[in-house]
Structure 1
């Protein structure tokens, strides 16, 4: 089984297209959940900035202003608007689970099972981010008081750890089959590391590439935004592919070991 798969490029493009339509509804749901949690109201802006900084890693002010406008307008939607948002989100998740099933060679979840799983994920995601930010701030304050802040700064490690956790959860849920814990942890770590490095490279490229800014002006930030979404999906899909290959290899080695053990005795 080869890691390089040209189909993943088309899958990433397809998911990027659906992401454009599903992004605002998902952000609206996530930020609304954070806003309604009584103990995490003070973390609303921090969670929002964390999400937007990862969605738009370079010159995020332009795209963030567009997203803020879209989020404000979404509160004025009527019943038909919410129905269309629900349909868009369902189409996005159906496309994602179909692609994930192809990558992991697993069965596609039935409709209600997939809705339950992904709705739970979308609901728990902002809560998890809020708790993580709270614990990060709390532990960092303890370190500051103890005088260890000169040697340990959790703020530098938190984004990487959170990214690793998100990749791990996505791999486990998307696979819809049993994965070895060591394999899913290793592959999700590699994917999160590549994504973090890719974000740094992407920011550097955008800062030094003035051609698109000269031609398209501020609109170039939207083009870079779409390109970053595509890169992110590409990294995620290749990470899933690596996870599937390692899982199959690990399973075959375990089966050979068991067979050799039985043959010996």
Structure 2
């Protein structure tokens, strides 16, 4: 047991750090204008959504093992990561992808460029938050982007297959532990979101990020994402103003607003991770060197 005096000493040592952390986190978010960056990323996401999905499905169709995964993957993504109007978004997106697949080679190449544009913007935004001073070589950058385009669909397909297998196992275990499968199925989307945030915060920045800090930032981002997802669903279903104003096109502003909020959560988690590195990283990181006004006086 730790004595009261020991606890008091620990608290007095960490209290200044907590205050510095709050100031750095707030000033970071204000200086980086994460709301503006989130709006830019939301626009690029909607512009790149159809090309990215088309490339993903095209690559997955090249592997017979993933032939039966596409419908499961679509159902998993739209039911867990699009809080409202998932059926309408799914229908429109499927139609758009089907139309895009009938384009010629030049059209498909242009869509691939647009898909790479999304990855490039995410990469530049996160590296700007991390204040990385060195840029990757163009060849190395292109190789990473291409790897995301090609290996990403296979990893998604593999994860869906594994999730389906584990869901079947959970259903079997439900006979002995009632409610276990329901709990597991609710946990899988959150776990997938958490792993996505960890990968973003550790691998995208062109600098070393401590796993402990990336995990902490991913936990915060995951919790915020789950809360905003439920809150957004309640808001949209409780206030039917979108349906009255936009009618059948209501899905467009709803989707844009949800993508915008999602990017705010992603950038908040990135700022939180960087702020942890500034205060608890053991040494002053590049994030506090530029600009100087981020450092609390």
What interval of TM-score do these two structures reach, taking the shorter chain for normalisation?
0.7 to 0.9
The answer to whether the 8 A contact 1:25-1:85 is kept is: yes
The answer to whether the 8 A contact 2:120-2:145 is kept is: no
Question: How far apart are residue 98 of structure 1 and its match?
Answer: 1.9
Cα distance in structure 1, aligned partners of 2:149 and 2:193: 15
Question: How far apart are residue 229 of structure 1 and its match?
Answer: 0.8
1:220 aligns to 2:247 (yes or no)? no
Aligned to 1:167: 197
Question: How far apart are residue 254 of structure 1 and its match?
Answer: 9.8
Give the 3 Å change call, closer, same or farther, for CA 186–221 of structure 1 in structure 2.
same
Say which is worse superposed, 236-245 or 113-122, in terms of deviation: 113-122
The answer to whether the 8 A contact 2:60-2:157 is kept is: yes
Aligned to 2:67: 41
Cα distance in structure 1, aligned partners of 2:110 and 2:98: 17
Question: What secondary structure does 1:109 align onto?
Answer: coil
Provide the TM-score with structure 2 as the length reference: 0.79
Question: What secondary structure does 1:252 align onto?
Answer: coil
2:55 corresponds, among 29, 39, 50, to 29
Aligned to 2:227: 197
- For 1:1-265, list aligned pairs within 5 A: 1-3=24-26, 4-5=29-30, 7-54=33-80, 56-106=82-132, 107-146=134-173, 147-153=175-181, 154-252=184-282
Q: Let me know the Cα RMSD of the aligned residues.
A: 2.1
Q: Which has the higher helix share?
A: 1
Question: How far apart are residue 113 of structure 1 and its match?
Answer: 1.8
Question: How far apart are residue 48 of structure 1 and its match?
Answer: 1.4
Deviations 1:158-190 (A, max 9, x none): 000001011111111221211111110111121
Say which is worse superposed, 31-40 or 205-214, in terms of deviation: 31-40
Question: What secondary structure does 2:107 align onto?
Answer: helix
Cα distance in structure 2, aligned partners of 1:12 and 1:98: 13
Aligned to 2:9: none
**Runs (4+) of structure 1 moved beyond 6 Å?**
none
Say which is worse superposed, 203-212 or 44-53, in terms of deviation: 44-53
The answer to whether the 8 A contact 2:221-2:269 is kept is: yes
Larger Cα-atom Rg: 2
Cα distance in structure 1, aligned partners of 2:135 and 2:261: 25
Segments of structure 1 that go 5 or more residues without pairing to the other structure are 256-265
Give the 3 Å change call, closer, same or farther, for CA 250–123 of structure 1 in structure 2.
farther
Question: How far apart are residue 96 of structure 1 and its match?
Answer: 2.2
Aligned to 1:260: none
The answer to whether the 8 A contact 2:278-2:284 is kept is: no
Question: How far apart are residue 30 of structure 1 and its match?
Answer: 1.6
Provide the TM-score with structure 1 as the length reference: 0.88
Deviations 1:4-37 (A, max 9, x none): 3261111111111111221111111222233332
Give the 3 Å change call, closer, same or farther, for CA 149–47 of structure 1 in structure 2.
farther
Aligned to 1:258: none
Give the 3 Å change call, closer, same or farther, for CA 28–198 of structure 1 in structure 2.
same
